[in-house]
């Protein structure tokens, strides 16, 4: 393995840690901490926008480092690699999950979360709040599954 490979894997792990850590920080630390704060809406909006900005940068870096991991490991980008080898099948699953995660994240950020924030305190925000909550949970679950698959891949499974 080359130095570029190890740096790429390191970057990939840092990106995953940032993404998963941020998704855990918001509901476990931030939300309970500001539950009764009169500026809750502003704090949530500012934190959410900041995480979204850096989150999409991190997801982009994760995508590029993931591709680089395959390339620097000397694996081919062929149909047979992705469909016939066990390693390639795991990578394929991870790519599919990444795509699904990205799409759900966009719905969460651009629609459900935005509407829930706009209507915070109003009765009709309950639907968007529920969607935002569940899309966030699904995103975390997908990210954790992807991290597990990453461990399996790195251990040669």
For residue range 54-89, list pLDDT tens digits in order: 999 999 999 999 999 989 888 888 888 889 888 899
Structure-token pair, residue 138: 């699904």
Give residue 97's pLDDT band: very low, low, confident or very high (50, 70, 90): very high
Give alpha helix (H) positions in the chain: 3-25, 31-33, 40-72, 79-84, 86-107, 113-118, 125-154
Judged against a pLDDT cut of 90, whether residue 49 lies above it is answered with: no
Judged against a pLDDT cut of 80, whether residue 118 lies above it is answered with: no
Report pTM.
0.85
**Residue pair 117/48 in contact by the 8 Å Cβ criterion:** yes
Q: Domain boundaries in the chain?
A: 3-154
């Amino acid at each position: 393995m080359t130095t570029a490979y190890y740096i790429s894997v390191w970057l990939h792990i840092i990106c995953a840690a940032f993404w998963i850590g941020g998704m855990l920080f918001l509901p476990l630390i931030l939300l309970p901490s500001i539950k009764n704060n009169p500026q809750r809406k502003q704090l949530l909006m500012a934190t959410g926008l900041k995480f979204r900005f850096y989150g999409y940068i991190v997801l982009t870096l994760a995508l590029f480092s993931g591709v680089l991991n395959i390339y620097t490991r000397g694996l081919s980008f062929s149909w047979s690699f992705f469909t016939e080898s066990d390693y390639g099948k795991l990578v394929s699953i991870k790519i599919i999950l990444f795509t699904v995660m990205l799409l759900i994240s966009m719905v969460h950020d651009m629609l459900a979360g935005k509407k829930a924030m706009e209507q915070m305190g109003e009765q009709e925000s309950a639907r968007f709040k529920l969607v935002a909550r569940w899309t966030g949970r699904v995103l975390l679950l997908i990210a954790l599954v992807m991290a597990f698959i990453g461990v399996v891949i790195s251990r040669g499974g």
